[in-house]
Structure formats: C-alpha cells, structure tokens
Amino acid sequence: MAKSIKVRAKVKGGVTVVKTLISHPMETGLRKNKKTGQKIPAEFIQEVTCEHNGNNVLSALWGTAISKNPYLSFKFKGAKSGDTLKVSWVDNKGKSDSVEAKIK
C-alpha cells in the first residue's frame, strides 16, 4: 500500500507531541451500497503502534467506531530531537502500513 500515514513529532520541554493522519476507509460493514443494496464489507484498522528508537510507546486497539481517515495525537517523554519514530497499523483484512520519521 502507498504511504497512508503522515507523521509530525516535536519535542518541547522534554515532552514529545506526535500527530498522525492515516488515510483509510474505515468501513463498519453495516452500510449498504446505494446502487446495489449490498452491504459494504467491513474494513477497519485493528491495531496502531508507535515505537521510539525500537521501544513501544503506544499500542491502540481500534474497531468500527473510528472515523474514516483517523487523526491520532499523543504525548510521551524520553525522546530528543533527531530520534526515530515508527508508526504502523494493521487492519482486519491483513493490510498494513508503517512509516518512520525523525523527531524535530
């Protein structure tokens, strides 16, 4: 899959603020196609993880209640400018994506 994750991370006062935007349809499996009347199959992100220099700093289990193209923001301590941050996701159909970014 093409890179579906945009990440920005910045350290200020010893706290790193991470902001992510993930491009994903996030279908619940309950909506119907207006033309055919058939249900649109469920397709949603199940797990999001974030690693700082190889150490896990965030694990999130998601479901069908998360909106299309989800935005995720969180904070953590212990990083410095220039460190590597890796954000990845896996959905219920086995698709996945990940991206690495440098902390500013």
**Tens of pLDDT along 60-94?**
999 999 999 999 999 999 999 999 999 999 999 99
Residue 26 pLDDT: 97
- Rounded to the nearest integer, the mean pLDDT of the chain is 95
Is 84 in contact with 104 (CB distance < 8 Å)? Answer: no
Q: Residue type for 9, please?
A: A
Q: Residue type for 33, please?
A: N
Is 48 in contact with 72 (CB distance < 8 Å)? Answer: yes
Alpha carbons 59 and 79: distance in angstroms, whole number: 17
Domain that holds residue 20: 5-102
Residue 2 pLDDT: 53
Domain of 50: which CATH number?
A: 2.60.40.10
**Tens of pLDDT along 20-57?**
999 999 999 999 999 999 999 999 999 999 999 999 99
Q: pTM to 2 decimals?
A: 0.91
Number of domains in the chain: 1
Closest among 2, 40, 49, 45 to 26, alpha carbons compared: 45
